């Protein structure tokens, strides 16, 4: 799981391997400093994710992230890619398969800091609070990053799909944004969207369905196995005692 997360942050397998090995060996070396305030897996992700982000900051500074997010907002667009198909239909299956095949490439189009929040929540399957702990930010900040990251991922996943005209929004922009926030909160909690279908207009239905497609595509990346060669390298370094430092029992509070 850690390797899957880091790979999607560094977008380079060699860098991912280096970061993961560094994270495991650092955690092994400093295990006595682990205070038990979180799960060991969350602590390990904190070490690895922050190392991966340090490698990628230069690229983010070159991007106009605010403009990318504004362009990804769907509510001012007159044409949208269709995504609201009956779940058992051929169209729905084709859309899901296409999204799963494209999600890695699409994730590269999501700029930091939104990508790291999205990868941890949707691919690693962490709670919002655990993502906040890993990234060292507030839970409210994670929710904002997830909101924007999902819209950016949605835009990337649907960029090549045909677009058709959609009716104008039934409600004013503020109401649509409130509905969108409710949808995002449902995704954060992993529960069904609480608003009845008859209260959601055609435009919102298409947007919300495409957000579900993106979440499903990300979940399909869970459970991948760390490369065998990397695992052996880490295990060998641990057996060697990593710089001569023996394993120590953790001090917990």
Q: State pLDDT tens for residues 30-81.
A: 887 777 777 888 888 888 998 888 876 655 555 667 777 777 777 777 788 8
- 179 and 100 share a domain? yes
pTM across the whole model: 0.80
Q: What is the mean pLDDT of the chain?
A: 84
132 and 154 fall within a common domain: yes
Among the listed ranges 202-206, 208-212, 241-245, which one has the minimum average pLDDT value? 241-245
- CATH number of the domain bearing residue 78: 1.10.10.10
Asked whether residue 93 falls in the same domain as residue 214, the answer is: yes
Range of the structural domain that residue 146 is part of: 65-222
Q: Which of 113-122, 130-139, 140-149, 189-198 has the lowest mean pLDDT?
A: 189-198
Look-up: residue for tokens 């999204």? 99
Q: Is 69 in the same domain as 191?
A: yes
Alpha-carbon torsion 60, 66, 72, 73, what sign?
Answer: positive
pLDDT above 60: residue 253: no
Residue 201, C-beta contacts closer than 8 angstroms, at least 6 positions apart: 167, 169, 170, 171
147 and 48 within one domain: no
Structural domains of the chain, count = 2
Give the bridge partners for 163, in sequence order: 81
Residues 217 and 231 in one domain: no
**Alpha helix (H) residue ranges in 136-201:** 139-157, 173-189
Q: Are residues 117 and 184 in the same domain?
A: yes
| Neighbour-count burial for 186-201, b at 16+ CB within 10 Å, e otherwise | bbbeeeebeeeeeebb
Name the nearest CA neighbour of 56 among 102, 127, 107. Answer: 107
């Amino acid at each position: 799981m850690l390797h899957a997360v880091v790979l999607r942050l560094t977008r380079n397998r060699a860098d991912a391997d280096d970061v993961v090995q560094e994270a495991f060996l650092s955690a092994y070396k400093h295990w006595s400093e682990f205070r038990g305030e979180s799960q060991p897996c969350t602590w390990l992700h904190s070490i690895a994710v922050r190392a991966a982000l340090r490698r990628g900051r230069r690229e983010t500074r070159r991007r106009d992230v605010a403009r990318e997010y504004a362009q990804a907002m769907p509510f001012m667009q007159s044409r949208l890619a269709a995504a609201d198909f009956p779940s058992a239909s051929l169209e729905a299956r084709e859309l899901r398969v296409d999204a799963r095949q494209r999600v890695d490439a699409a994730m590269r189009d999501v700029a930091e800091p939104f990508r790291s929040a999205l990868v941890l929540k949707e691919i690693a399957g962490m709670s919002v609070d655990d993502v906040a702990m890993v990234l060292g930010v507030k839970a409210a900040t994670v929710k904002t990053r997830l909101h924007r990251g999902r819209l950016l991922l949605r835009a990337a996943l649907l960029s090549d799909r045909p677009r058709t005209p959609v009716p104008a929004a039934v409600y004013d922009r503020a109401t649509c944004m409130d509905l969108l926030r409710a949808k995002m909160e449902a995704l954060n909690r992993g529960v069904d969207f609480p608003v009845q279908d008859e209260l959601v207009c055609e435009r919102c239905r298409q947007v919300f369905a495409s957000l579900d497609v993106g979440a499903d595509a990300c979940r399909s990346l869970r459970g991948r196995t760390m490369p065998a060669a990397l695992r052996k390298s880490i295990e060998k370094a641990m057996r060697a005692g990593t710089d001569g430092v023996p394993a120590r029992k953790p001090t917990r509070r």
